[in-house]
Amino acid sequence: MQLISFTRHGQIRSGGIEGMADPSMTRVIDLNAADPRLPPDMLQLLRGGDEFLDLARAVIQSAPPDMWLEITGPQLLAPVPNPGKLICIGLNYRDHAAEAGLATPAEPVVFAKLSNTVNGPYLPVRLPRATEQIDYEGELGVVLGQTCKGVKEADALDYVAGYLAVNDVSARDVQHRNGQWVLGKSLDGFAPMGPALVTADEVGDPQQLDLQTRIGDEVVQSSNTREMIFPVARLISFISEFVTLEPGDVIATGTPAGVGGAQEPPRWLRAGEVVRVEFPRLGALANLMLAPDADN
């Protein structure tokens, strides 16, 4: 099942789609309109657990033709527009640690992005004036479906609602200014996500997913999640030792080699470029970089 969030008549709605989302036109079921027992908000839907997910699946499968709506890319939001936590993992691919000139970490490197970073899969990213070194990081995102604390690694994937693509956009000059990453990672709109939350039952093993990042026609990252140092289950188990994870929380699991800051010379993002992060089994983000406006 593929779940999305979208805007219609000025309201945020939760929906289901068939096939992959398309920026030009996507057919969607408004889940709450189709069955009022389902909430219009994705976070509330996930908090309803398997009962709501099973009901949403039944609604999508049985919806008559006149219930399907057509929406365009600008209406699509991050599948979870308001996650309680957006937790990120640094240096989780050996080749990326090597290109950064850093040792392979002994345990997951954890940081956070703030909620203002959450952005839609096809919405633009405004390049701010505060930085000149804006980089891309294609990553697998994990969306929690159940509350967990101190979960064992063997059981961790049972707590996952689904998966999506993430671009952990980063201002490298700000990130490395004082050794604290949060500010350089948390500029407005710096976490495009989506296009859909693909439920865990459809994805299967999260360590067997191809990932590719492109700028225009140029492939800049190409890898597979089997190359992670710490797999998804280990990340959930490790984080939950310290932090209670809740439905709708998102974990961005790290990026492989090929980031712009590691190239010679560095390859920073420029206005007018489109960054595409794609997992063939999850869909693709495609975000246009916009020039700074007069106010930022």
The pLDDT assigned to 295 comes to 66
**Which of 175, 173, 170 is CA-nearest to residue 190?**
170
The pLDDT assigned to 101 comes to 81
How far from 155 is each of 57, 197, 240, CA to CA, in Å? 24, 21, 12
How far, in Å, CA of 197 to CA of 174, rounded?
31
The pLDDT assigned to 179 comes to 79
Structure tokens at 137: 């990081």
The pLDDT assigned to 265 comes to 95
| Residue partners of 51: CB distance under 8 A and separation at least 6 | none
Strand (E) or helix (H) holding 213: strand 210-215
51 touches 8 (CB < 8 A)? no
The pLDDT assigned to 296 comes to 60
Domains of the chain, start order: 2-77 (no CATH), 86-290 (3.90.850.10)
pLDDT tens-digit profile, the chain (296 residues): 999 999 999 999 999 998 899 999 999 999 999 999 999 999 999 999 999 999 999 999 999 999 999 999 999 999 999 999 999 999 999 888 888 887 889 999 999 999 999 999 999 999 999 899 999 999 999 999 999 999 999 999 999 999 999 999 999 999 988 778 999 999 999 999 999 999 999 999 999 999 999 999 999 999 999 999 999 999 999 999 999 999 999 999 999 999 999 999 999 999 999 999 999 999 999 999 999 986 66
Which amino acid does the sequence have at 30?
Answer: D
The pLDDT assigned to 98 comes to 84
**Which of 288, 270, 167 is CA-nearest to residue 221?**
167
How far from 72 is each of 76, 179, 195, 247, CA to CA, in Å? 7, 40, 12, 27
